[in-house]
Each structure stands twice: as structure tokens, then as C-alpha cells.
Structure 1
Amino acid sequence: MSNCRTSMSVTMASTRPKRPGKLSMLILLGLFLLFFGTIKINCATLPDNSTDVLWLQAFRNEISSAPSGWFNSWNSSSNHCVWPGVRCSQLHPGRVVALELSGLNLVGPISSSIGNLTFLRTLNLSRNSFSGQLPPLIHLQKLQVLDLSMNQLHDSFPYAIVNCSKLRIINLSKNFLVGEIPPQIGLMSNLSVLFLSWNNLTGVIPPTLGNITTIDRLGVAYNNLTGSIPDELGKLQNMLRLGLGANMLSGGFPEGLLNRSNSLQYLALQSNMLNSKLPPNIGNGLPKVGELYLYDNMFEGQIPASLGNISGLQRLELQGNSLTGEITTSLGNLQYLYYLNLEKNNLEANGSEFFNALANCRSLESLFLADNQLQGAIPNTIGNLSITNLVQLSLAGNKFSGTGNIPIQVGSLTGLFVLDLSSNKLTGEIPDTLAKCQSIVTIQMAQNFLVGTIPKILGMLQSLSMLNLSHNYFSGAIPEDLERLQLRQLDLSYNHLQGEIPKNGIFGNSTAVSLQGNWGLCGGDIDLPTCTAASWKRKAGYYLIRVLIPVFGLLSLALVIYLLLLIKRTPKRECLSMHSFGENFLKISYKDLAEATSDFSESNLVGRGSHGTVYRGKLKEAKLEVAVKVFDLDMRGAEKSFLSECEALRSIQHRNLLPIIRACSTVDYTGSVFKALLYEYMPNGNLDTWLHYKGDGKTPKHLGFSQRLSLAVNIADALDYLHHDCGRPTIHCDVKPSNILLNDDMNALLGDFGIASFYVDSSSTSTGSTTITSSVGVKGTIGYIAPEYAGGARKASTSGDVYSFGIVLLEMMTGKRPTDPMFKDETNIVNFVDNNFPREIYHVLDTRLTEECKDFAHAKTVSEG
């Protein structure tokens, strides 16, 4: 108003007469009042540089929480242009051009008054707790930078934002925005950065984004976007970083990006539903990419060798896909690669070549190859990775095996922080050279076949925080050297450890130590017997219970875990299309089989089944002893059973599955159709003959507990492979002892796939199991059939095999068939065991195992004095 008063005074001075009369005085007074009112009204509506302060104060008034004292200076006693977070124009005094209040944990709505700061060029309210709707932006024609990221804004994407044509940077990530990204966004010709990640946006990625030739960073990850990735994005020649991960995008890899996007340095397409094969020229089309994230999709086929041409690639993540074949050795060309993750695929490695190639990756720090199909011995050349900066190595969940120790060369990896070799089939002892890895924090070697004592050298690893050696065959005492370590977690469960448990260090924290399943341990703060002498009778009874309860507990736990995995795991892909068995199996003539079995004489008869007869024979040319399964084609379902078994074993191979050597589909001497399958002859017969006495008194040497447990593991491995890892999920449908064959080494092989079932459609998945449609109907053997089948279920399921396997386990431990005459009325083998578990469990145990357990308890008592 000071300006108003000044102009009014000047006007009055210029219009005042020197000698006014009475009339003229009245006229002048009227004019004065009229003029004053006009001036006052005009003053209230004319633009004023000081009005921005009013909009700032309105913005401040709606903030409900702020750091103590932050807004104290936002008052009329100081010029608003010096308020914290406020910057004004030098050409237009008083006009606010920037409001930057990032990371102050401000709470409340963003006042609509912000939309009146028409000179605003930068609005940065990121990393706060603003909620509600976005402020109106339509009048902010000068706005160049808009950053409202990391707040709690609930609104749809502001369509009016396209009117802010000078915007260069838009960052609305990490809010709760909904709705679609408007196609009109393609009109924002000056935009260089668009970040909309971590919201709830839906719809498709607008192809019009390809019109913004100035854009160099685009991020819309972690939303609910669908559809394919537009080829138009390939037009963005200046694109440096593109993040589209964690949506529901489908289709193949966007090959349009390979055409012109040679500037790309960062590409993230992870956690979508992208499928098909990766382009063979991906490495040539993205020559400048430093980080490539393609994990958790459905990509198939081999890893393209051209990836080795991306000379500057530093991080490559392909885990969680369906990639197959050998890992390309071209990855060894990547001099700057520091992080490589290929976990959870179906990849293989050709001997030591791949590890040799990786030795050239001098920057490699993290190598993750877990949950693939790597097999054979871990190559000694793994020690060559020592010339890199390797700190993390995970080879877990593969099929690594060996006839000796873990390679001693692992000790060369002195910079390791994490070593994970769990869930393989490694044998031998832990090498003492591991003591050289003084930086190691985590060691995981669970679920192997490691033996010997736990080496004392582990007590020398002062940085060790987590040690897991569970589910192996370690024996002897727990080294007291482990007491000195600052361990946070120690798992030595399910081994053969003996003696007194140490008392100090981590052993004083029972919640951090797992030692169950070691029958010879005593003492400590956990629920184990004290290490004092006792009478033989008392100790014998104690150890008998302690032996038997873990036996059945272990088997029960295995079933529960397996069933849970069965519920959660889903096949990575559908089965391959069916081919005739003749394309996959060598054929043999009827004459050859007749000669091999002495014209199918009774003297060579091995057994009879529901669809045919099995004979023992010897092929003259191959000098091979075989079992010949001849199908009775007059029996209903025999033809389908023949085809079913051929198809089931067409493309699967596992050490615990009885493979078909040859298939024969021809005519006999009379011209009748003849179909037979040839298997390797198993001289030790089947599990049924070992578990139960025969009427003639001829019984093979009985199976001890360790043998029975080993056979159970064999069958569990076979079923796990059939259900999850064979490429086409298969259900056996008739798991029982007579279908479990024993080879020369007393290893179990699951046979007879005559009524096996195959995965057909993911839509048939039911809660609790993977549901499979059978080509011959749901069948099985009484006593082993799952209850849901008896109740009228028409579809086979993996849980049905699990139930049958459970019955077999109980039969192996009790020595009683599920059809034993003692099981009648409401009693069956399941509740028979359950009613006696745990304290009276020895009443249901096979008598030969009871004697074995008593002998163990007696020997244990004697050894302890």
C-alpha cells in the first residue's frame, strides 16, 4: 500500500487548486473519494512481486509435521527469498524460481497454492511423507525440474503435466500413483529424464515415448504394466538407462533396442514374463551396456555367445529363467565383469573349460551358479579364480560329485567372504587349505555326503559368522576350537557326531545352534542327555528311544518338507511335444527276444503284472542280460500301458530310474502284434523280496537300517526328479516295493511306468499339488493308492506319489505290508504307527531293526563306561 499512497499523494498534489471555492471544494472532495476508492481497488488486483510469499505461507500452513525449528524463519520479519529451501529470480525480484525441500520428513498434503508460483523452474519435495493428491501444475509453464519422488501421494498420473512443455526432469517414483501413463506424454519434446518406478501404474508402455528424442533415462519399473515392450523405444538414440523391470510385460526380448540403442549403458527387464530365446546378436546390439538385468523371466535356449563381445559389461544377471545348454566360455572375455548370476536355470558346464575362462575376468567378485545342472567333480581349476577379486561363490543345488575331497585349490580363494557348496553330492573331507580363507564369513556345505571329522582349522577362521555342515556324515567330536569364533549361526544337525558338546562361545546360545539328529552327542544347554555314567538297562532304553524317534521323525519331516516343496514348486515349462517311441529307442526283432528267453519259457519267468509278463533273458550279440517285459495286448489298457511307459522314459534319465534299453514293436511268428520292453536285469530283485519272507523260507540277507535309509533316499531322489527336474513333470502312479529294483551295488531304481501320467496343462493345477492328466486313467495298487483316488478323483497328482512313497517308508521300517491281515476295520499301517509314536515306537519296528538298535545302544553304553 505504500506505492498506492505515494501515487495517490502525487495525484492529489497535481490536481489541488490554489484558491478553491466552496463548490469547487465539494467537487474536489467527491473526486478525491472516487479516485481513492479506484486506487484502492486497483491496488488489490494488480500483480505484485510480493504475492509469492502468500503462496509459500499457504503451502507451509498445510504441513502438519516438520523438523523442529525448520520453518521458524518462514515469517514476515524476513524476506521470503532468503527462507531455507527458497530461491528467487534475479531478473524478477521476489518471484520464486525454486522450492527445494528434500529429505525433511515433511508430513501433510501438498498445498494447491504451489500451482500459483508461476515463475517456478524447480520443484523438489522428494524424500518426504507428503500424501494426498498431486498439486495442480497446469500454470507452471516455466517448470523444468519436478521431483516428488519417495512420498505417499495417491493420485493418477497428471495429464495436465504435458502442458509444462519445458520440463526436462520428471521424477514421481516411489509413490502410490495409479492409472495409465497417458500417450500425450510423447508431446513433451524437452524431456530427458522420466522416472515413474515403484507405483501402481497399469496399462501399457505408451509407444509415443519413442517420439521424445531427447530422453536419455527412462524408468517405469515396479508397476503393473502389461503388454509387450514397444519397438518404438528403439528410436531413442540418446537412451543411456532403461528400467522396465518388475512389471507384467510379455513377449520376447525387445529386439528394437538392438537397432539404434547403441548408447544404452543400463538395461533392466527383470521380473517380467518375457519369453522365447535371447537374440543371438544381443551382445553386438548393446555394445556399451555396463549392467544387464534379465533375471526372473521365462527366457529359454542357450546363453548367447555374443554377450562376450560387450567389453564394458560389469554386471550380468540371468538367474531364474529356463536357460539350457552349456554356459558359454565367451563370458571369460569380460575383463570388467564383477558380478555374474546364472542361478536357477538348467545350465551345464563342459568340464573345467568354463572355470578356466572365468579366470580371465580379473574384476570378478561374485559368482552365483546355484540350482543348475552342473555335474561331475568341482574342477581343480576353480583355484584359478584366485587371480580375480572373488568374494562370493555359490555352487549350491547342482549335481557336483567326486571321488575325493572338495578341491584343495579352494584354499587359493583367499578373498572369499561367502562359500556355498550345499545340496550337491560331494564326498570326502573338508580340505585343510580352507584355513587360508581368513576373510570368509559364511560357509555352507549342507546336504552332501561329506565324511570325516569336522576339521579344527575352521576354528582359525576368525571372521566366520555362519557355518552350516548339516545333513552330512561327519563323525567324531565337535571341535572345541569353534568356541573361539564369533559365530552367529551354527548348524551341525543330522550327522554322526559324538561326545560332549562344548559349553562356551556360541554353544551357550541354544537358539543359534542346531545339533539335532546326532545320536551320540551329550551335555550342553539343549535337550540332550547328560554325559554321566548310567546303568546299561537305563541307557539301552534311552538310546533305543533316541534312535527310533529320530528315524521316524526324519522320515516324517522328509515327507512334510517334500509335500510343501511339491505345493510351492511349479514346472518351469510345459512338456515337450510327444514323439513316437520309435524315434528314441533302438528296435529289436521278435526272433532275438525269443532266442534270449528260450521261447519265453517258464524257467525264465520273473514275474507277472497287470498288463504282461516279465522274463529273464540274454541277448547273444550284445552279451547283455536283460529283463523282457512282454505286453498281453488282449488285456484292456495294455497297448496304452506300453505307449505310456515308452513316453514316460522317452527323454528322462536318472541314476535311480530303471531305463529302457530297447523297445520292440513288431509281429510274432503267427503274424500277431507283439510289443515288449527291454530293461537291464537287476540280479538283486526288488525291494519287496528283501523286506518280506517267502513261503519257501528262501530270503536274502535282510536290510539293515542304513541300507533302508539309503534306499529311501534313492527313491526320494527319483520322485523329486520326475516331479520337478526332468523337463516334463511325470507321475509314476504305482510306487510300491515290487516296483523298486536293486542293482549290484544295492542302489534302488524305480521301474514300471506302465500307468505313469504326464503334465498336460497348467490350468489343471489344484491347490496342494500339481495335477496331471493320465492317458490310461488313475490306477495303482491297493494299500498304496492315495485316499483321494479311492474317493473318486479322476486326475493323478504328485501328492499321490508322495502318499505312496510314505506308505513304502512305513513298510520299510515296520516290515509289514499295508495289506497285512492285522490291518482291518479302522486300523491301517498309518494309524498303527501313529498310535505308537513316539514312546512305544519299538513295538511297531521291524524286529530285525529292533535288534540292531539294541546292539547299538549296548555298544554305546559299553563305550561310555
Structure 2
Amino acid sequence: MKLFVLVAWALLLLSHGSGSVICAVLHGNDTDMLSLLDFKRAITEDPKGLLSTWNTSIHFCNWQGVKCSLTEHERVAELDLSEQSFVGEISPSLGNMSYLTYLNLSRSKFSGQIPHFGRLRELEFLDLSHNSLQGIIPVTLTNCSNLRALDLSRNLLVGEIPAEISLLSNLTRLWLSYNDLTGVIPPGLGNITSLEHVILMYNRLEGGIPDEFGKLSKMSNLLLGENKLSGRVPKAIFNLSLLNQMALELNMLVGTLPSNMGDALPNLRLLTLGGNMLEGLIPDSLGNASELQLINLAYNHGFRGRVPPSLGKLPKLSKLGLDTNSLEANDSWGWEFLDALSNCTSLEMLSLYANRLQGNLPNSVGNLSSNVNNLVFGRNMLYGLVPSSIGNLHRLTKLGLEENSLTGPIDGWVGNLANLQGLYLQQNNFTGQIPTSIGNNSKLSELFLANNQFHGPIPSSFENLQQLLYLDLSYNNLQENIPKELFSIATIAQCALSHNSLEGQIPHISNLQQLNYLDLSSNKLTGEIPPTLRTCQQSQAIKLDRNFLSGSIPMFLGSLNSLIELNLSHNNLSGSIPIALSKLQLLTQLDLSDNHLEGEVPVEGIFKNTTAISLKGNWRLCGGVLDLHMPSCPAASHRRSRWQYYLVRVLVPILGILLLILVVCLSLLRKRMLRMQLSLPSSDEQFPKVSYKDLPQATENFTVYNLIGRGSCGSVYRAKLNQKQMVVAVKVFDLDMQGADKSFISECKALRNIRHRNLLPILTACSTIDNQGRDFKALVYQFMPNGNLDTWLHPAGDGKAPKQLDLSQRMKIAVDIADALQYIHHDCENPIVHCDLKPSNILLDYDMTARLGDFGIARLYIKSKSAAAGGSSSMGTITLRGTIGYIAPEYAGGGYLSTSGDAYSFGIVLLEMLTGRRPTDPMFCEGLDIVNFVKRNFPDQILDILDASLREECQDCSQDNLEGENEVHRCLLSLLKVALSCASQDPNERMNMREAATELHAIDTLYVS
């Protein structure tokens, strides 16, 4: 029998190669070789070709990554296959290699569940990190009694940490971070006295930190941040003298810090306790922990007393964040810490925003390290002069002194800070003139000087601030004319100069195409509203009230389609109210009061909402809707009396004849009528009338030169309407295409009553016949000068420089579209499912604001009871609708139309934005799709899948060894997590768009804004 078995094994192995392997069988180690071959067979992709060396022509102990023991049996002792980017599952056969002591399969793309390795009794090191492993942590791992290091971090593991893990009595390192683990931290971990590293951050663990952790005398790194932990930090933990990093941030911990903390933790390098509910004094003894490099106690609200001067004894301290607490300084004793910190030559960031610091800012602030780039004392109780020594900090990029009571001029120091990007001095009592030297700060993007006592002119040197985005000089006493140089800065998005004493005319606005907020109110401006204001097509708020402006209200204001608020009150404007203002779909606040306007008040658009407009003090106005209680217009009254005369004396006798003629001619007139104007937002609201003959003229007879793109139902052209010289986009429906007519009607119905800044607005619709008597249907949209998102993600190979989107732009676009979907799903009276979300239907305005368009297959629906309870709304089964690659999987099987279908499409679009790959990329085949592609690389190997420009941006971002990944990397991780949630196969597991929008706004605030 033994001979039979031996022959059988020999024959089996001969099929793989040479007789040298048979010798291995004779030594009894065939189990290891077969296990390795099983592992190889489970790998579906081997991009680096390592496994090509695994063949029976050489002994398996010589296979790459394999190391055998030196015993006569030559059993596999180590298997190191890290950073190979394998795709596939981990074969359970590895659990048969009973002599294995070291197994490293990290940084690949393994999926599936963790196999049962319980028979690997000799195993000391197991690293499966940075993969896409799913499921729970198998309890059988705890049978590996010799295990010293267990790293399962950066996978997709769920469930609780097994309590049996405490049986691993030899464990020194436990890494389970960046998963989705829940439940409590097993107290039994505190019994593993050999533990040195416990890294459980970025999970959803709850409960308290086990008291038993205080027994872990060898602990070096305790990283539990970004969980849901509560209660007090066990006091014994603060006595773990070998502790190097303590990161407990963003939990719900309470209590105080022990006074001897710094003495008991002499090796502490990183301390992050921010975002909890801790209170009490910051221990003086922290200054004795001489290795400290980073301290973050911000956003606890409860720390009080003074900042310990002992922190100045920390030679390696680089970042000190104490924001939003109740720390005090009201005399030299309280400010002693600032003098002391001048000894910290590595200091880069000092932030004490929103505390209770009082008195003069000490002159010693200028003695801080020359490396300081971020200095924040905003929202305290400071007064007096800003010491000129602050100008010594030449590397400052952010200076925050806002919301204090500081006084005096700023010209003694501000011009020396040439690297400033953000200067926040608002809500103080600064005096003097705004110095011309501020033009030296050419990198400024945010300048806030509002609510002070500055006087004199606005310096013309502002023209040097060519990167300026936000400018607020309001509530000062600035005089003279507004320099024309100010309105030549093309980057400005918000400009507030209100409540000053500025004079003269408003300068011509030459290049402010990104301006969305302009406030010049409460000044002494004269002249007319400049016609160049028409170029500010992104403007959402224009406030020119309380000046001495004259002339009429310009007609072009009716072409600023993004306008939400317009205030022209308390001026000397005359003439009539332009009816064009009634066409502004987004306008919700209009104040024209206290002018010299006359004539009839429009009755459409915003003029129907008497709570949204103010017209008081214009004594010559008349008409309007009844609720305005305006006097009747004399001309209108005269026409009404004449009409009544003819109606009674002339028209009544012939009414029957007219009706008969009308019935007879109705069918004939239909084919000869020139146009049927379709009202979009509501049945009683009219939009600019566009006849068929206007559109060929505007598009140069629909020439290819003006063709923007083609879709499933027609073509889109760039056009210039003659009556307003207004650039628009015209979508002409090809009615020979199946469904084009329904698409036209569907889009009109969908957009009838919805208004949102991130929806592409339709200006009007045209439904008529062309010159040859054929049906003609077109929609006229606001023109989007930056095209659609698809052209930015996938530039055409036309030899032109490729378009690039940085992370902040992609973030903004994602937020914009999430807001639009949240609006149509959750905030409309009659919610809408878009059904065709994809990059080509996402349009980009002048300032790259994203607007969702093409509602051609959108569907209205009524929320079901389940939707009201928080579920997805739905209506009936549907035929497949949308674009391949973006369609929710349940639609393919005739599933229910639902908002979760749009959420899936949004997830795919977000993945496309981050990877730069279409969901229909040729690489996605044989079961691999864009979602699986990302999952296999999430969270650790995302650099392998990112769009090239994002990858470069992430790699270029400075690395901080203390904090792990840079902010760009963390932002990308968070974005991918939202995308994968939205793109889940199961509709019930997807985020809805309200949740997704909330998450994206939070990510934007944390990492981008």
C-alpha cells in the first residue's frame, strides 16, 4: 500500500517537471509544494510576473519569495510576497504549511475572506494589510499561538474584534486600522503583556478604552483615533513610560489629563487628543516629554487655565494646536508661554483660535521660529497694537487675528509677509490707511479687513494681487474712487466694499467672469450702473443700494441668470422696471425701493411673490399683482374701458360667427402657425419668445462650426440671439429618432418647477414647424463656456494641451452635483429621478461651477411610504434607461425606478473622476468593472488607480511622518469611500444623495477648503 501511494505521488509530480522534485517527495515535503501551487492557481493576475518562476524545473525552496528551513526536511519557513499587486483570493492551502513562521501578502489586491490559518502553530508574523479582504476576522487565527505580529489593516473587514484574540499571548503588534470594525475593544487585550503596538484607528469601535490597557508596560504606539469611543482615558495608560504615540482624536472621551503626564511619558512623540470632550488644565509636565513633536488638543472646549510655558522646553515641537478651548492669558504670567515657544526652533504651526487670551499680543511673537507658516490668534480678546516684529515671520502663509479688539495701523509689518496666502484681520479696530505695501503680498488669495476703522483710498497696488479670490473691505471709512485696477483682477469671486465712503462712478469691470458676489452698498457712488457688469454672468448677489446712482435700471441685468439677490434700493434710479427681471428664474430677493421709478410693475416671475420684492418709495409705479396694492395704471384703465365698449356693442353680435370660423380653421392653422411657445417653469410664467427663424440665424444655419455635441436625441449648437446678443446653447431634437419627442416633453415636465444653482437652466423652448413644414422642437439653455465634464476627464487627442482638473476642482464638481441630486430627490415638491447621470451631462460654467443637465429621460415620481421613512422612493418597473456603464444593476433586470439608481450613477461618475477611466474602459472585462477595480486597491493602493494628475498631486504633497498620509491622500480615501458606498450593488446599502452631499461637504471642509 505504501508503495502504491509513493508511485501515485511520483506520477503526479512528474507531470510538473523533473526528477529533482520526486526527491523532494521522498523527503516528505510535498504538502508545502502543492500548497504553493494551489496558491499560484488562485492568482488571476500577476503583473510583476513573480510566479512565473514557480515551476517544477527548480526546487520550490528556490522559488522567488520562498525561504525554507535549514532542517533536513526542507520545509517552507517564510513566504514573503509583499508589494506584488496580485489579484485573486488567498488559497486556504497555505494553512497546510505547518512549518511556516513568516507570511507576508501585504500591498496586493487580494479579495475574498481571510482563510483559516489555525493549523499554522509555528506562525509568528502574519501581514495581510493593504488588500481588499472582506468578511470578519476568523476566530481560528487565535490558534496560531506563536503569533507575534498581526497586521490586517487597510482592508474591508467588518464585525467585531474576536475576544479570543487575547489568547495570543506572544503578540507584540496588532494592526487593525482602516477597516469597518464595530463593537468594543476586547478588554482581554490588556492581558497580552508583550503588546507594543495597538493600532485600531479609523473604525467604528465604541465603548470605553479598556482599563486593562494600563497593564501593557511595553506599549509604544496606541492609536485609537476616529472611532466612537467614550468615557475616560484610563489613568494607568498615562504611566506607560515607553509610549511613543498616543492618538485618541475624534472620539467622545471625557475627563482630565493627569498632572504628571509628561514625566510619566518621557518618550512621547505624538499626542493627538483633539475633537473630544476633555477638560481641565494642560499639564505643565508636558514640557518634560522632550521628544514631543506634535500636540493637538483642539476642539475639546474644556481645557482652561494658561498655556504651560514649559512647552518651550520641547526642542522638536513642530505643531501646537489648542483651538476652541477656554485657555486664558491676561498678564505677563499668562503670556509667558509665547516667550518660551521662541525656543522651539522647529515650530511651524501655532493655533489658539477661539480661546480667552486677553491684552496686548507680546512683541515676542516675532521671535518665534523662522519656520512658522501658520499663526492663528483669532476670536480671542486681544487689544492694542500688533507688534511690528510679526513681520519677521517671513514664511507665514496664514495669519489669523480676526474678531479681537486690535488697534492702530498695519503698515509697519504687513508688507513684509511676502508669502501670505490668507490674511484675516476682520472685526477689530485697526486704523490708518490700507498700506500700499500690501501689494507686496502677491500670493494673497483671501484678504479680510472688514469691520475696522481704515480710512483713505483703496490702494491701486491691489492690482498686484493677481491670485485674489475673496476680498472684504466692508464697514470701514474708505474714501475716494474705487481704483479701476481692483476690477481687473480676473480671479476675484467675492468682493465686498460696502459701508464705506467711496465716491465716483463704479469702474468698468473688464474681466471679472468668476465674480459671484458684489457688495458696493452704503457708499457715495454716483453715475450709472456700468454696462460692463453684464460680463459677470456668474453673479449670484449684486448689492448697490444706498448710493447716489442715477439713470435707468439696465436691461442687461435680466441676462444674469445666476442672480439670486439684487438690491438697488435708496438710489436715484429712474425710468421703468425692466420686464427682463421677471425672467430671472433663480432670483428670490429684489429690492428697488426708494428710487424714482415709474410705470407699470411686471406681474410675472419674482413680481408675483410680494414677500420677495420691495418697491416702496417709488410713487409713480402702478399696476402689478393685486397683493402689491398699487394704483391702477391710467393707460391700462383707458384700454379696459374701450375693450368693454367693443365687447358689448360690437363683438357680442358676431361672437357666434367667430367661434364657427375658429372651429373650421383650427386644424388648418396648426400646420401653418409659425410657433407654439411652451411655458416651462409654470403654466402662468412666460419666457423669452424665440421663433424658428431666430434659431438658424443664431446658429448660422446650424453650421458644424457652432456644433457643441451630439446626443441620443439630437444636437447642441452654440448660438447668439440677436435680440439680446446673448450666447446660449440650443438643443435641437432629431424627431426622426425614436423617443426624441418624448424626451422633449419629459425634459420640460421635469424642469417645470425646479430651480437650483447646480441645475442647467432652460431659458425657453420652441415647439413649431420649420420652413419645410416639418415639426421642430428645441430647448434653449444658458451657455456653459467650459463644456462638459467628460471633455475634461477624457481630453480629445487633437494636439491641444490637455485639460487638467486638480483635486479641489474635482471636489467642487462632486459637491455641486451631489447638491443638485439632493435637491431633485429630496427638496422638490415633486421629486425627480434623473436616470442618465454621466460626465457628458454635467456642464461647467465660467468658474467651473457644475450644473446637471439633460433631463430627457427623467421621471417624476411620488414618494412612497418607505421613502418617507428614509428609504429610496420608487415607482413601477421600467425598461432599461440611461447609459451603459452608469445604469444601476437593478435596472437591467427590470427593477424599480428609484433615487438609489441615481445614487449608483453618481458613485460611478465619482469613481471616473478619481480614476480617469470610463466605466466602459476596455480593461473592464471578464467580471472586472470599475467598482471592483477600485475595491481591489482600496484603501492602501489607491495611487495605482488614480488619474495621473491626481497621483502626481498626491505624491507632490509634503509627507508628514508623524501623521501618516498627507491631506490629499486622506481626502482621496474619503472620496473613494463615498463613491464605493453609492455604487454598492445592493440598493439598500447605498448612501442616499442627502447623505452623500453631507459627507462630501464635510470632506471639502476638512481637507480642501
Q: TM-score, normalised by structure 1?
A: 0.54
1:40 aligns with 2:24: no
Q: Rate the CA distance shift 1:342–1:461 in 2: closer, same or farther, 3 A.
A: same
Give the corresponding residue for 1:524.
Answer: 510
2:325 equivalent to 1:375:
no
Structure 2 contact 460–483 (Cα < 8 Å) conserved: no
Q: How many Å apart are 1:342 and its aligned residue?
A: 0.3
Q: Match of 2:322?
A: 342
2:313 to 333, 340, 359: 333
Q: Is the 8 A contact 1:281 1:306 kept in 2?
A: yes
SS state of the match for residue 277, structure 2? coil
Note the 1:577-588 alignment, pairs <5 A.
none
Specify which of 357, 372, 380 is matched with residue 390 of structure 1: 372
8 Å CA contact 2:406, 2:429 repeated in 1: yes
Deviation per residue, 1:75-97 (Å, 9 max, x gap):
44444444443333343566333
Whole-angstrom distance in 2 between the partners of 1:201 and 1:357: 43
Kindly state the Cα deviation for residue 234 of structure 1 after the two structures are TM-superposed. 1.5
Is residue 105–residue 127 contact of structure 2 (8 Å, CA) maintained in 1? yes
Question: Cα 1:472–1:66, aligned 2, differ >3 Å: closer, same or farther?
Answer: farther
List aligned pairs for 1:140-289, cutoff 5 A: 140-259=120-239, 261-289=240-268
Among 295, 299, 304, the residue aligned to 1:320: 299
**Alpha-carbon distance in 2 for matches of 1:841, 1:223:** 66
Matches within 5 A, 1:337-736: 337-351=317-331, 352-386=335-369, 389-402=371-384, 404=385, 406-450=386-430, 452-461=432-441, 464=443, 466-469=445-448, 471-472=450-451, 479=459, 481=461, 483=463, 487=467, 489-492=469-472, 494=474, 498-502=481-485, 509-510=490-491, 513-517=493-497, 520=506, 522-526=508-512, 538=528, 546-548=543-545
Residues 326-363 of structure 1 show CA distances to partners (whole Å, capped at 9, x for unaligned) of 32333233333222110121222234333223223333
Distance in 1 (alpha carbons) for counterparts of 2:311 and 2:273: 16
Q: SS in structure 2 opposite 1:177?
A: strand
Residue 536 to residue 419, structure 1, CA distance change in 2 (3 Å): closer
Q: Which has the larger radius of gyration?
A: 1
Of residues 280-289 and 128-137 in structure 1, the stretch that sits farther from structure 2 once superposed is: 280-289
Change (3 A) 1:180 1:488: same
**Partners of 1:206 and 1:841 in 2: how far apart?**
78
Distance 1:423 1:501, change over 3 A: farther
Q: Which SS does the other structure have where 1:120 is aligned?
A: coil
- The 3-state SS of whatever aligns with 1:104 is coil
Structure 2 spans left out of the alignment, 5+ residues:
13-24, 534-541, 549-568, 571-588, 595-607, 623-1009
Is residue 451–residue 472 contact of structure 1 (8 Å, CA) maintained in 2?
Answer: no
Is the CA contact 1:153–1:175 (under 8 Å) kept in the aligned structure 2? yes
> For the residues of structure 2 that align with 1:443 and 1:82, how far apart are their CA atoms?
63
After TM superposition, give the deviation of residue 198 of structure 1 in Å: 1.8
**Equivalent-residue separation in structure 1 for 2:374 and 2:49 (angstroms):** 47
Query: 3-state SS of the aligned residue for 2:446?
Result: strand
CA contact under 8 A between 2:48 and 2:84: conserved in structure 1?
no
Pairing 1:85–2:65 present: yes
Distance in structure 2 (CA, Å) of the matches to 1:264 and 1:203: 25
Q: Which amino acid aligns with 2:380?
A: N
Q: Supply the distance in 2 between the matched residues of 1:48 and 1:36 (Cα, whole angstroms).
A: 14
> How far does the alpha carbon of each residue in 1:576-616 deviate from its partner, in whole angstroms, 9 at most, with x for none?
xxxxxxxxxxxxxxxxxxxxxxxxxxxxxxxxxxxxxxxxx
Mapped partners of 2:36, 2:423: distance in 1:
58
Does the C-alpha gap of structure 1 residues 38 and 437 become closer, same or farther in structure 2, counting only changes over 3 Å?
closer
Q: Which residue in 2 is equivalent to 1:651?
A: none
- Please say if residues 73 and 83 of structure 1, whose CA atoms lie closer than 8 Å, have aligned partners that are also in contact: yes
* 8 Å Cα contact 2:590/2:612 also seen in 1: no
Secondary structure of residue in 1 paired with 2:391: helix
Equivalent AA in structure 1 for residue 320 of structure 2: L
State the Cα distance separating 1:410 from its structure 2 match.
0.6
Q: What is the identity, as a one-letter code, of the residue corresponding to 1:271?
A: L
The equivalent of 1:739 in structure 2 is: none
**Structural mapping, 1:719-798, within 5 Å:** none
Q: Distance in 2 between matches of 1:41 and 1:245?
A: 56
Q: Is this contact kept in 2: 1:500–1:523, CA < 8 A?
A: no
Displacement of 1:143 after TM fit?
1.4
**CA separation in 2, counterparts of 1:410 and 1:499?**
30
CA contact (8 A) 2:468 2:489 kept: no
Number of aligned residue pairs: 527
Contact 2:299–2:324 (8 Å) recurs in 1: yes
CA 1:187–1:453: 2 relative to 1, 3 Å: same
Specify whether residues 246 and 115 from structure 1 end up closer, same or farther in structure 2 by C-alpha distance, changes over 3 A only.
Answer: same
Output the CA distance in 1 between the equivalents of 2:71 and 2:5.
30
Give the letter aligned to residue 399 of structure 2: L
Secondary structure at the residue paired with 2:262? helix
Is the CA contact (8 Å cut-off) linking 2:376 and 2:399 kept in structure 1? yes
Report the Cα offset of residue 73 of structure 1.
3.1
**In 1, Cα distance between equivalents of 2:135 and 2:543:** 62
In the alignment, the residues of structure 2 paired with residue 272 and residue 550 of structure 1 have an alpha-carbon distance, to the nearest angstrom, of 52
* Counterpart Cα distance in 2 of 1:133 and 1:35: 37
Check the 8 A contact 1:313/1:337 in 2, yes or no: yes
Residues 1:397 and 1:184: Cα distance change in structure 2 (over 3 Å): same
1:272-310 per-residue CA deviation (whole Å, 9 max, x = no partner) reads: 111122223323332332221111110122222232332
Q: Secondary structure at the match of 1:97?
A: strand
CA positional deviation for 1:477: 6.0
Deviating above 6 A after TM superposition, structure 1's stretches of 4 or more consecutive aligned residues are 44-47, 540-543, 837-844
SS in 2 for 1:115: helix
For 2:145 and 2:620, the matched residues in 1 are separated by 83
Percent of residue pairs identical: 39
Conserved in 2, the CA contact under 8 Å of 1:548 and 1:841?
A: no
Is there any run of 5+ residues in structure 1 with no aligned partner, and where? 1-33, 552-703, 706-808, 815-829, 845-865
Q: 1:542 to 1:50 in 2, by over 3 A?
A: closer
Shift of 1:502: 3.2
Q: Secondary structure at the match of 2:290?
A: coil
Q: 1:134: which partner in 2?
A: 114
Instruction: Quote the Cα distance in structure 2 between the aligned partners of 1:35 and 1:207.
Output: 51
